[in-house]
Structure 1
Amino acid sequence: MTQISCGIDFGTSNSSIALAHEGTIHLVPVENESVTIPSALFYRRNDRHTYYGRKAIQLFLDREEGRFMRSLKRVLGTSIMKQGTFVNGTLMNFSTIIATFLLQLKDKAEVDAGQSIEHVVLGRPVHFIDNDPAGDAQAQRELQAIAERIGFKHIDFQYEPIAAAFAHEVNLTEEKLALVVDLGGGTSDFTVIRLSPKNRTKADRTSDILANTGVRVGGNDFDKDLSLSEIMPELGYKTTFGEKKLDVPLKPFHDLAEWSKVNFLYTPKMLMQTRQILGQSQDPKRYQRLLKVLEQESGHTLLAAAEQAKIALTSLTEHEMPFDFLEKDFSIPIQRSQFESAITDEVEKISGAATACLQAAGVSAEAIDLVILTGGSTEVPLIQSEFRRLFPKASLADENKLSSVGLGLAYDSQYKFSAQ
């Protein structure tokens, strides 16, 4: 039996797995014919079954009873990881939940390969958590333990932007100095790396990597910014209550605007507090919508609307966000200019981190020959224009935005494990 290794890109928003076998690399179909799958799970209450990816999202949007989970990668290395969460009345450990998701990727790959797979290179962001080396190391240990738990025996890690670079390097005919821009759902990572056809099979590429930086900002933050800017005000965000016209608590709105925190809002205490404030609200029509979201447990539907608007506004200049589940014929129009205004601070952080990567590498923007854009958020027009502004002389490569990291991780697994 020949050795087959794999690379797993466990993303905040989407995931993939690719196989390396006798010099060939290919992505595995993980949901019907698709080689990427949304990093989402739905535990349906009536049949106690677990669904993944697009099916999980559809069941949730169809208002099936159960527990929907997404953006699990952001839990790694945080205190939430140890707390666990209730799923249909049962306390579940987040390690178990993440292992369940990754195991179904591994199972699909083993069916494709026709044998068990023990060698894996897992992608990781440059920083799981900003400015927290202990939390960052803890996140990697937790992910390694999960990989061991589902049956991998030889485990290595690679930074996601470096993996994306490897996926593009196979198509080069000459040496290039590249900046990899990997904008995921939860993090944005950058690497300055020398790419060359003659170096692509080297197991150790340390000398080719000039610098890497990362910041905990990604597509989910764009969703959050858009939600707080355009959706939450229609639910009573920043309104007042009582005779003294006190500001309503802002935390519920901020949690409703973040994928990884929505589920923690659905408590009797939160419902009681919201009902009490509603009775004194100076804007009861809007604040009533917040109560309805909490009663229906439909916070993810709000975020899905923000995400769909973000996607729509990559090609359109305006979009209508429907909220019929709150009120008949209720919708919120959104202009691309409003979205871009909402995410300006995040784009500045991304731009700053990219510039810091150049400084750490000791190279100028003019020295960069190739900018590799990977991750779905690189499709946002404001991101595209920002990197064209920063690197006017460089070529921009943005093919395989959602799958280049998985492919690159498989190439890396081949280089690292071929001698074993």
Structure 2
Amino acid sequence: MLQVNYIRENKEKVLERLAVRNFKQPELIDQIIATDDQRRQTQASLDKISAEANAAAKQIGELMRSGRKEEAEAIKANTAGHKEQVRELGERMSQFETSLHQLIVQVPNLPHDLVSKGSTAEENDVVLVHGQPAVLDNAALPHWELAAKYDIIDFELGNKITGAGFPVYKGKGARLQRALINFFLDRAVEHGYNEVQVPHLVNEASGFGTGQLPDKEGQMYHAAVDNLFLIPTAEVPVTNLYRDVILKEESLPVRHTAYTPCFRREAGSYGAHVRGLNRLHQFDKVELVQINHPEKSYETLEEMNTYVQSLLQDLGLHYRVLRLCGGDMGFTSAMTYDMEVWSGAQQRWLEVSSVSNFETYQSNRLKLRFKGKEGKTQLAHTLNGSALALPRIVAAILENYQTPEGIKVPEALVRYTGFDLIS
């Protein structure tokens, strides 16, 4: 969430950067400033009346103690309306604060200066391409056919139990999943991330803190009886560990990793491009979350970008890195890198990770601050990234490592799977 003072003091820059996102409601900025003007004026009136009321109360007390009752009663009569004025102004303040909040939560984060203007994924900037596509013969199969051939993932059984988008992993398919989760977690811990296990349901305050609410409630599964939401990513509960927390500067950076299942309704997602593991309602993911000093957050973003790439290199996958254009970024992000792996049998790129810097957008909602050595308190920067999301990684491994004998297991995973071939 943007800060009101920043919007007031940097109106033209705010509008300029929102245009990079193709933001369709620039009039909100003027409405925010106008509402804040009314709030400030009301606050000034409230402070003035409250000060007068306090001064009068003090004077009345002194007069009564000195036996000057008539003078005290006269002042009391003259200030009789103060209490009602304070009540009315307090109600107006509450209304303006509510209106201001409702307006400002509709404004997305401002893109970093390096983020280019654009509307669609086709306008994203390709930062680098690593490796070469796997050489497959003309008989190469897509992962959903390989899953059926080797009986390792059952989409129909998941459909029977729950519905489309909830596959059942079987035998070596389940062990491959577990191997990837352990590999990703172990690598994260080796690189200094502290592993945590967190709830898979969150309350409204947590959803608001990281920006899923009120923007994405239609994409989350809602347990209405208890008003809880199934997490779309571990980013939500992990980042909310620090809601309403003031950290010490010397404790930065805070680095966490967590494995969780993720739940997304993916409303409106249909067609061949979502077949098999390409898009699911439930999937597994290992997440990275960092909290850092504003002066170091973009250095941290590049470090996280490089780290995620190292995982893809260890798995021997052909991938590319994109810096998302303004129109393709998430609502809360200031800059995002996407990592995509090449699907050999489908002949298309599959997104497997997003690494983002939210600057102070989340921390302002979370009231997540740190205190510097000089005692000054300021908002921290938050970052997160997938390291990695499993479904499309599994799809890429199945497709790119298929041979006439079976599916080879990437060397980095063999010590986790206990086998080197799915046949």
For this structure pair, what is the TM-score category when the shorter chain's length is used for normalisation?
under 0.3
So what's the TM-score if we normalise by structure 2?
A: 0.24
Larger Rg: 2
